[in-house]
């Protein structure tokens, strides 16, 4: 029997926003450390595909995101919502997160925790028929909600060039019982006329699922992205980005439980393949609004 797991996706935050599609909701650019005063960032994005760490969370279709984040000096807490199209059919993905962003010289650190919530999800279980022979079974966890801890750092080598790294750890990834550890390095270079190029390379280490999900050792994989962006007046960004992984279509199916691969009997998924994603983002900050 094929592996009985799925990737319901994550979301939210970003390592330089374009460095990844969803890891903590993409906040407005962080300015130099300000006095300890309250501020609020909010915004959203429209995407041709919600790609999270190399895997589509919207079945290769369009998606939207909205977020709000309260800030007080280095402290922050926020929430984000992403539309999804996943095997367990939640009404979307809700991310709740909090942490600190200390700034030391030219380095910005980000240490925090995020809770991923999938409201109204239904465990994806199939029988044969209607599923083809060999494709009956449990494909998702009973509850996919999970907690992830993260640490990130970005360093301005020059005013134009920023390099960074990030590490994420989930003890119960997507409720499957498997651990999930994701590490990434990234870079962004500012070009004239408000253009920028950026990219990232990451690796996902995944553990073994619960017995009722087959006790499967999930496939580790490498993820990378590269793209170009243009920003208008520090609040509107258009990004065009290539995403890729080293997962085969069969490995992608075993990881995601793609419902199309189940009901067609192909045992394959294109959710992890090479793709180009267009994103239009709006990021606003209360303290910078012209009229308050």
Residue 77 belongs to a domain: yes
Ramachandran bin of 50, using left for φ above 0, alpha for ψ from -120 to 50, beta for the remaining angles: beta
pTM: 0.87
For residue 202, give the CATH number of its domain: 2.40.160.40
pLDDT digits (tens, 9 = 90+) for 126-177: 998 888 988 999 999 999 999 999 999 999 999 999 999 999 999 999 999 9
Residue 118 belongs to a domain: yes
Residue 5 belongs to a domain: no
pLDDT digits (tens, 9 = 90+) for 207-260: 999 999 999 999 999 999 999 999 999 999 999 999 999 999 999 999 999 999
Residue 27 belongs to a domain: no
Q: Look at the chain and report how many structural domains it folds into.
A: 1
User: At 112, phi and psi to the nearest 5?
Assistant: -165, -175
Residue 243 belongs to a domain: yes
Residue 35 has pLDDT above 70, yes or no: no
Domain carrying residue 125: 38-288
Residue 32 belongs to a domain: no
Rounded Cα distance, 75 and 102, in Å = 8
Residue 8 belongs to a domain: no
Residue 186 belongs to a domain: yes
């Amino acid at each position: 029997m094929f592996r009985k797991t799925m990737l319901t996706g994550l979301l939210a935050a970003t390592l330089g926003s374009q460095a990844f599609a969803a890891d903590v909701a993409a906040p407005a650019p962080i300015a130099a450390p300000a006095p300890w005063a309250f501020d609020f960032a909010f915004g959203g994005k429209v995407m041709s595909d919600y790609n999270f760490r190399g895997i589509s969370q919207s079945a290769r279709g369009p998606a939207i995101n909205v977020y709000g984040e309260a800030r007080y000096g280095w402290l922050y807490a926020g929430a984000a919502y992403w539309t999804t199209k996943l095997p367990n059919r939640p009404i979307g993905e809700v991310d709740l997160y909090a942490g600190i962003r200390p700034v030391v010289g030219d380095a910005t650190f980000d240490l925090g925790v995020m809770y991923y919530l999938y409201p109204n999800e239904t465990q994806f279980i199939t029988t044969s028929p209607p599923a083809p022979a060999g494709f009956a079974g449990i494909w998702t966890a009973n509850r996919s909600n999970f907690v992830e801890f993260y640490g990130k750092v970005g360093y301005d080598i020059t005013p134009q060039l920023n390099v960074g790294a990030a590490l994420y750890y989930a003890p119960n990834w997507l409720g499957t019982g498997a651990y999930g550890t994701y590490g990434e390095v990234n870079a962004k270079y500012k070009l004239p006329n408000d253009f920028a190029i950026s990219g990232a390379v990451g690796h996902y280490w995944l553990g073994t699922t619960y017995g009722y999900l087959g006790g499967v050792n999930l496939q580790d994989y490498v993820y990378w992205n590269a793209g170009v962006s243009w920003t208008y007046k520090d609040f509107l960004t258009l990004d065009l980005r290539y995403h890729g992984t080293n997962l085969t279509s069969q490995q992608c199916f075993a990881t995601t439980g793609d419902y199309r691969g189940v009901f067609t009997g192909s045992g394959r998924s294109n959710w992890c393949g090479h793709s180009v994603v267009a994103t239009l983002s709006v990021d606003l900050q209360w303290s910078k609004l012209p009229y308050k």
